[in-house]
Structure 1
Amino acid sequence: MENFDYDLQSVQETRNLARQAKLAQAELAKFSCEQIDKIIRNMVKAAEENAVSLAKMAVEETGFGKVEDKAFKNRFASSELYEFIQAMPTIGVIREDKVNKVMEIAEPVGLLMGIVPSTNPTSTAIYKSIIALKSRNGIVFSPHPSALKCTYQAAKLMHDAAVAAGAPANIIGCISKPSMDATNELMKCNEVAMIIATGGSAMVKAAYSAGKPALGVGPGNVPAFIERTANVPKAVSNIIASKTFDNGTICASEQSVIVEECIRDQVMEEFKRQGGYFMTPAETAQVSKKLFIKGHAMNAKMVGRSAQVIAETAGISIPAGTKVLLGEQQGVGEEYPLSYEKLTTVLAFYTVKDWQEACDLSIRLLNNGGVGHSISIHTENHDLVMKFSEKPVFRILVNTSSSQGGVGASTGLSPAFTLGCGTWGGSATSDNVTPMHLINIKRVAYGIKDFTSNTSSTYSACSAQSSNPSNGISEDQIQNLVEEVLTLLKKRGDY
């Protein structure tokens, strides 16, 4: 009975949040650029001031990651994001083509539903709140149950900061009694116009099945190829920095390291020197058993954990100061568990003969749960970069940490915590999601071609001939007439 009452309360709360946020969004839709910018700046200020406290809440509640890295993500999702989107046109006339006389006018989508993962529970809420309001949308969050308190607090801080700067009350909401019924209700309710889903594959798939527009992201299973011309110490440093950042909880983090035979020993020595531990086959098997449940589903108790915690749980001994665990793999698929995504401090390690074999292996790894997302390559050979740009991913990250590169922290990509995987990964977009994905665009188009006179002359020529069938028109005359009509159509651009 208690569960039944909870579910009823959960669904009713969700309905109320959606209705209130929809009314608030109708007001926000009338705001000017100056009003919206004032609101966003206050939200950024609140996120900065609470970056550390929110990070502590997230680590305490979920057990995932590191406080200092989550604090960085909170700041990145606010200050860095604001720098990128501040001048982004999302209100009124956003583009005018004076030659073709077309004006583009931005309109908000409406009310958004934001699905938030447990791995990035506060930074994702901050990021989605800011891009939603920048485009004059409202948003209601469905938090992961294991990260409810910190996500709710992040959403409340964003709401209160927005309202203090002039936004209508209830413009940002968050479910406080999460349940599957509540999430389904929010996905399908009439008030919600679009879903932004960041989370597990099942949740993203459900979002796309809700019968309305959705921006969802698939999992990452990022291969990192260290090619023979690479600066090996720098490549290894980048990979370790990326994989240990928040203990590997970003979906753009490297999952497998691929090296050529000719530099294998050098790469292994460099990993050992910088804090990598190469597990024996027996140790790899022990760790794999702890990492996964039900095949290759990640064990939540191992997500975002340090190498020491994982080793201790698996019953293996590792040197003090170890940062990442590496296990050699000979293939991809069910028999090779480390070939799947591992949102923690464990990497698969592969050796190949040359870059062609690295290409083939990368594709197999991507098709094993990361197609469309990202690939990392360390090389000084630009031609090789272009070869890898042909792979089925939408982020080809070169000579950088994949985690930071994918979200736009160490690259020129858009700062984002929702990374689209395109149609290859089952996503509606291949971009890092920005406010520009959350607007509708009207187009005002003036006539620039005299369509009526062309139509009349064409019709008159055809009519004159067809109305007098007894004239005895020759085949040559018919052919000439057809050619005249086709020429006219080509001039108008209709053929």
Structure 2
Amino acid sequence: MMLDKDLESIQEARQLLEQAKLAQQKIEKMSQDQVDQIVQSMAQAATKEAGRLAAMAVSETGYGKIEDKRTKNLFSARDIFESMKDKKTVGIISRNEEKQVWEVAEPVGVIAGIVPSTNPTSTAIFKALISLKSRNAIVFSPHPTAAKCTNETVRILQEAAEEANAPKGIISSITNPTLSSAHELINHKLTDLILATGGTDMVKVAYSSGKPAYGVGPGNVPVFIHSSANVEKAVKQIVQSKTFDYGTICASEQAIIVEKSIKRKVKKELENEGAYFLDDYEKKKIEEIIMVNGRLNPGIVGKSPQTLANMAGIFVSDGIKVLIAEESNIGKSYPFSVEKLSPILAYYTVEDWQEASHVCNELLKVGGLGHTLGIHSENKQIIEKIGLEQKVSRVVVNSGTTFGGIGATTGITPSMTLGCGTYGNNVSSDNIGPEHLLNIKRIAFGVREMSNEQESDNVHARKEETEKTISRSEVMDIVKSVLQELKI
């Protein structure tokens, strides 16, 4: 008998949530050392399998480059693990002796992990690590086009966790995910919190579920090259950042804004680094493949410049790394001004930093509010002025925004989920970590007495009366003294 795929998938989601609930109740009783051993075991297993999982992801989705997806997997397994391994997430995590307040970490419970097709293995590694570090269970809903590689990632993490004595069912994944099972996972009564990484529509579903949710917004990232910048270094960083995994990280640059005084110099350096500037005809042909029915064409995501050129019916040589078109307009009617998630860049020319700041803000309004901005400059006053004006959660200075935004090359917390704050309709502007998956209980000692307002008023009145009595007494003494002197 053939069963309905949606019903099977929904039923599996329910079963996994029930197992996760039981497992979470067990891990909740574990010590910090036990939890840390589990997380370390998972990180080591993910590190060992980083290359194989990367190859699976590229093969299944057709997005990106194997070597770069391997780097992303290692970033999640190593850098993110290193950043949180010493954090306290069990029991009393801080004691403020001055205020006499103790903070106690409590897990949130069962987490629904929504995984995108662009980063299907590295996101799963990241979310599993931060979930178990905070003693939560997690059930994943892979993107249907990346189900095999995500499920294999989860299997590896699950086995490693159980080898370190984690309860069975603490990590799991829907094997044949559908839109219906994703909705079931998000809305089920056993789900306590949602980690939603994916398209705007899925993030909206997570936020409308009535449950706590951490989502992300699109990252239409502008990068400004100021006249004070080290142009050669800036261009090298931008090209490396934009072409990493063919632009599938949402923090990657989408538009370059340059001052007129250095326009030619920047263009020359870009060409030296493998950029190809499209002529008017070529620009029009690429524009035709960027958008489909007013939305980003998924067919261009994570594709090489050569594949993109072939799709558009133009030719570029094998050495080309990124396609660039000069642009002056901004809006959804101008495809080069939107988020492209591929090695395609817009190139804007401005007179000064004030105009650059305006252009950056306009680009963000098209679809990147709250996410990330890049600045290349050696003038800290300019950096401060522009940084203060932008409605973003991250301003990455003198570094590629792909790597700076996720915390690989900056001091920002390493993460694969980048909150966009209220600018991007998100609940947090942070790089999400295990601390976001905890309830903090506070044990607070009494340090002062609360005075009664009526008693306080009576005391105040008696004080005033006493002051009045003293004042009359003093007056009588003065009168007596004067009368005595006058001998009356």
TM-score (norm. length: structure 2)? 0.93
Specify which of 321, 342, 346 is matched with residue 344 of structure 2.
346
SS of the aligned residue for 2:348 comes to strand
Q: Give a deviation string over 1:70-106, Cα, whole Å, max 9, x none.
A: 0011111011111110111111111111111110000
AA of the residue aligned to 2:415 = A
What residue is the counterpart of 1:471 in the other structure? Answer: none
| Alpha-carbon distance between aligned partners in 2 of 1:140 and 1:18, rounded to the nearest angstrom | 7
What residue is the counterpart of 1:147 in the other structure? Answer: 146
SS of the aligned residue for 1:195 comes to strand
| Alpha-carbon distance between aligned partners in 1 of 2:169 and 2:280, rounded to the nearest angstrom | 55
> Are the counterparts in 1 of residues 251 and 405 from structure 2 also a CA contact under 8 Å?
yes
| Alpha-carbon distance between aligned partners in 2 of 1:167 and 1:320, rounded to the nearest angstrom | 49
AA of the residue aligned to 2:359 = L
> Are the counterparts in 2 of residues 277 and 324 from structure 1 also a CA contact under 8 Å?
yes
State the shift of 1:290 in Å: 1.3
State the shift of 1:294 in Å: 1.1
CA RMSD of aligned residues (A): 1.6
What residue is the counterpart of 1:292 in the other structure? Answer: 291
SS of the aligned residue for 2:455 comes to helix
What residue is the counterpart of 1:360 in the other structure? Answer: 358
State the shift of 1:329 in Å: 1.1
| Alpha-carbon distance between aligned partners in 1 of 2:118 and 2:317, rounded to the nearest angstrom | 27
State the shift of 1:335 in Å: 2.9
> Are the counterparts in 2 of residues 421 and 431 from structure 1 also a CA contact under 8 Å?
yes
Specify which of 363, 374, 377 is matched with residue 376 of structure 1.
374
SS of the aligned residue for 2:367 comes to coil
What residue is the counterpart of 1:279 in the other structure? Answer: 278
What residue is the counterpart of 1:327 in the other structure? Answer: 325
Larger Rg: 2
Q: Give a deviation string over 1:106-128, Cα, whole Å, max 9, x none.
A: 00010000100000000000000
Consecutive aligned runs of 4 or more in structure 1 exceeding 3 Å deviation? 453-456, 459-462
State the shift of 1:336 in Å: 1.3
What residue is the counterpart of 1:472 in the other structure? Answer: none
For structure 1, list consecutive stretches of 5 or more residues without a partner in the other structure.
466-475, 481-495
Q: List aligned pairs for 1:55-74, cutoff 5 A.
A: 55-74=54-73
Q: Give a deviation string over 1:467-490, Cα, whole Å, max 9, x none.
A: xxxxxxxxx98xx9xxxxxxxxxx
Q: How many residues align?
A: 464
AA of the residue aligned to 2:315 = S
State the shift of 1:454 in Å: 4.4
| Alpha-carbon distance between aligned partners in 2 of 1:288 and 1:170, rounded to the nearest angstrom | 47
1:337 aligns with 2:335: yes
> Are the counterparts in 1 of residues 250 and 402 from structure 2 also a CA contact under 8 Å?
yes
What residue is the counterpart of 2:188 in the other structure? Answer: 189
1:103 aligns with 2:102: yes
> Are the counterparts in 1 of residues 332 and 366 from structure 2 also a CA contact under 8 Å?
no
Q: Give a deviation string over 1:252-293, Cα, whole Å, max 9, x none.
A: 000000001100111111111110000012111111211221
| Alpha-carbon distance between aligned partners in 1 of 2:283 and 2:317, rounded to the nearest angstrom | 16
> Are the counterparts in 2 of residues 279 and 327 from structure 1 also a CA contact under 8 Å?
yes
> Are the counterparts in 2 of residues 330 and 336 from structure 1 also a CA contact under 8 Å?
no
For structure 2, list consecutive stretches of 5 or more residues without a partner in the other structure.
469-488
Q: Give a deviation string over 1:426-447, Cα, whole Å, max 9, x none.
A: 1111010010000000001111
SS of the aligned residue for 2:288 comes to helix
| Alpha-carbon distance between aligned partners in 2 of 1:180 and 1:318, rounded to the nearest angstrom | 38
> Are the counterparts in 2 of residues 388 and 396 from structure 1 also a CA contact under 8 Å?
no
What residue is the counterpart of 2:75 in the other structure? Answer: 76
SS of the aligned residue for 1:394 comes to strand
State the shift of 1:191 in Å: 0.9
What residue is the counterpart of 1:41 in the other structure? Answer: 40
| Alpha-carbon distance between aligned partners in 2 of 1:393 and 1:349, rounded to the nearest angstrom | 20
What residue is the counterpart of 2:396 in the other structure? Answer: 397
| Alpha-carbon distance between aligned partners in 1 of 2:187 and 2:227, rounded to the nearest angstrom | 52
SS of the aligned residue for 2:151 comes to helix
TM-score (norm. length: structure 1)? 0.91
State the shift of 1:456 in Å: 6.3
AA of the residue aligned to 2:289 = K
Specify which of 307, 312, 315 is matched with residue 314 of structure 1.
312
What residue is the counterpart of 2:211 in the other structure? Answer: 212
| Alpha-carbon distance between aligned partners in 1 of 2:21 and 2:348, rounded to the nearest angstrom | 51
> Are the counterparts in 2 of residues 58 and 147 from structure 1 also a CA contact under 8 Å?
yes
| Alpha-carbon distance between aligned partners in 1 of 2:362 and 2:84, rounded to the nearest angstrom | 36
